[in-house]
Amino acid sequence: MTDRFSWLPMRRRSIGVRLAVSALLSSAAILVIAAWILTTLYRENTERGFDSRLLVYANNLATDLVSPDPEARSFALGDPRFDLPLSGWYWQVGHPDAKPRDLRQSRSLVGVPLKGPDKAGTATIGQIRQGYGHGQDDRLLRVVERDVDVGQDGRYTVRVAGPADEIVNDVDRFRFSLSVTFGLLGLSLALTALLQIRFGLAPLKRLRAALGAIRRGEADHIPGEYPHDIAPLASETNLLIDTNREILERARTQVGNLAHALKTPLSIIVNEVGSSDAPPELAEKIREQAAVMRDQVNYHLDRARAAALAGTLGTSTEIEQALAGLVRTFGKIYRDKDIAYEVRVPPGLRFRGERQDFEEMVGNLVDNASKWANGRVAIAAALMAEHDFTRLLITIEDDGPGLPEEDRAAVLARGRRLDESKPGSGLGLSIVADLAALYRGRFRLEAAALGGLRAVLEVPGDAPAAAQR
């Protein structure tokens, strides 16, 4: 069943990246929410404090209203800001439906009525209303008002306003300080989370390195002790490696026994034919068929052995030394042709498999190139990254006559030879193709830049251990 979230890019990320991203996102969300809550509470607290100051002025004005002598109502608040024109500090006293000329106002209003707070509803006598309004210069004000009943004089509305800039500036300073503080706190939380993740995932990183060493053939077990969470994984992996080796050893023994059981009777048959009075034609035919049977037995036994060993953990071959040995061997075999072998192999490249299989594949290709070369054979190796898998690319080309494209597929058939004048059984290239397939690799033939045939072999490989760190 396809995972509905398989399209998410985080699905392919490492555990460390997932933990880091989740920790950073959750911390950022918590800090943002906390900053919003604290800023809201601080704004409300600042508004209440400012309203308390305005309410003091409103109560002083209400005290003058309840004076029995109207002439004694001075409405003096003792604050010079109420005398400065358009200072933002205003007060106003009057009946709710009074005309502008009947209102008592501070000098700072310069004769323009002071409006009540926006969205202010009706209220009972003595109830306080507060909110934001706008002055005559469109300046944002904080307004507090209350209704006072003075008996026969009726109902009055006392209204006091102050500039809301003080509230806004105070809240902005608090928000800036809070942002800096929370920013530093978030940074420290992020660094702490990264350190915790790095420390917590260190055993997994060490386990991964140990598995890589086994895969490259540098170790045969996972060494050391691990936390109890992943210790079973390490122990089970070691047990799996041991069990795999035991199975392979039994398979090797069975293959060896089978080879001995088949080759011995074949040798006896050939010897008996040579010592018998059988007609020469029959003896030659029996020898020929016995040789074919021996080749087929060797081929299938080698294939069974390679199938059992292909991809075995801890099996690795350094190809530079193996290629050097093959070049020396075939240089002696084909010394009469005086072939110049060119080898270009970066140091440290490894084939992830048995040395015998590597020499079987590359040896057949070098042998085939040497048979047809006029005097030059080029061997090159490189490492290719394919997603999370690395492949070893080996090319062997010669300067011989080459091979038409329509015949390249035919020569890969087992026992097929296009030219009987050259020695061989016709199994070489098919063995290479079968072994490459067992290692989940690829093998193909192309036209060579030197003019002859180029064999391209792709098998599992590894870079030098130092280059992987």
**Would you kindly state where each structural domain of the chain is located, as residue ranges?**
73-166, 231-307, 316-468
In this predicted structure, what is the pLDDT of residue 10? 53
The band of 146, judged by pLDDT with boundaries at 50, 70 and 90, is confident
Which carries the bigger pLDDT value, residue 247 or residue 371? 371
Residue 160's pLDDT is 93
When the pLDDT of each residue in the chain is averaged and rounded to a whole number, the result is: 80
Q: Give the Cα separation of 339 and 444 in Å (integer).
A: 23
CA pair distance 460, 189, nearest whole angstrom: 43
Q: pLDDT tens, 339-364? A: 899 999 888 888 888 888 888 889 98
Q: What's the pLDDT at 306?
A: 58
What gap in Å lies between CA 55 and CA 339, rounded to an integer?
108
The predicted pLDDT at position 276 comes to: 62
Q: What is the pLDDT of residue 169?
A: 93
In this structure, of 111-125, 170-184, 346-360, 449-463, the range with the lowest mean pLDDT score is 111-125
User: Residue type at 389?
Assistant: F
If you average pLDDT over residues 145-164, what whole number do you get? 85
**pLDDT of res. 407:** 76
Residue 239 confidence (pLDDT) = 85
CA distance 323 to 310: 20
What's the whole-number mean pLDDT along residues 219-226? 81
**Residue 31 has what pLDDT?**
92
Determine the pLDDT at residue 421.
Answer: 44
The whole-number pLDDT of residue 304 equals 61
Quote the pLDDT of residue 37: 95
pTM: 0.54
Check pLDDT > 70 for residue 419: no
Tokens, residue 258: 């089978």
CATH code linked to domain 316-468: 3.30.565.10
Nearest to 318 by CA among 286, 358, 270, 283: 358
Express each pLDDT in 223-272 by its tens digit: 888 888 888 888 888 888 788 777 767 776 776 677 667 767 777 777 76
**128, pLDDT greater than 80:** yes
Is a pLDDT exceeding 50 seen at residue 72?
yes
Residue with the larger pLDDT of the pair 430 and 276: 430
pLDDT for res 178: 93
For residue 104 the two structure tokens come to 């008592």
Question: Which tokens belong to 68?
Answer: 């029995």
CA pair distance 241, 220, nearest whole angstrom: 8
